[in-house]
Amino acid sequence: DQQVKQNSPSLSVQEGRISILNCDYTNSMFDYFLWYKKYPAEGPTFLISISSIKDKNEDGRFTVFLNKSAKHLSLHIVPSQPGDSAVYFCAASAQGGSEKLVFGKGMKLTVNP
């Protein structure tokens, strides 16, 4: 049973445009959500997070939006850069992030110059 779903396996965008990565979850106990970025042969690195008490969190070019009623979150990257090309994982946790991380399958983003 996939509790965190990233339904699109890949996305390709042009440099300078917006990248939108989507994530859905099913467990109502999740109250903390994170995005990780992974390059080949490296471990995932933390990118940005959001608590369920917020509906938006912004950090530079990265913004995460949370729609609790729809159990949906999205990561926006604006403007996209070739260096953003990587696999992005959505993850969720309960108890404010202190419970175990539950990951989606990941989505490969390619930003073309």
Least separation in angstroms between residue 27's CB and other proteins is: 14
Residue window 9-48: x/- pattern of binding to other proteins, with contact defined by CB under 8 A: x----------------------x-x-x----xxxxxx--
Residue 100 binds other proteins (CB under 8 A): yes
Residue 10 amino acid letter: S
Least separation in angstroms between residue 80's CB and other proteins is: 24
Q: Which stretch binds other proteins (CB under 8 A): 21-29, 68-76, 78-86, 100-108?
A: 100-108
**Residues in 38-97 that interact with other proteins by CB under 8 A:** 41-46, 49, 89, 91, 93, 96-97
Spatial distance between the Cα atoms of 8 and 113, rounded to a whole number of angstroms: 22
Q: Which residues contact 23 (CB under 8 A, 6 or more apart)?
A: 4, 5, 6, 33, 72, 73, 74, 75, 90, 104
Structure-derived torsion over alpha carbons of residues 89, 93, 97, 103, reported in degrees to the nearest 10: -20
Least separation in angstroms between residue 105's CB and other proteins is: 5
Q: Which residues contact 4 (CB under 8 A, 6 or more apart)?
A: 23, 24, 25, 26, 30, 90, 91, 92, 102, 103, 104
List residues binding other proteins (CB under 8 A): 2, 4, 9, 32, 34, 36, 41-46, 49, 89, 91, 93, 96-98, 100-106
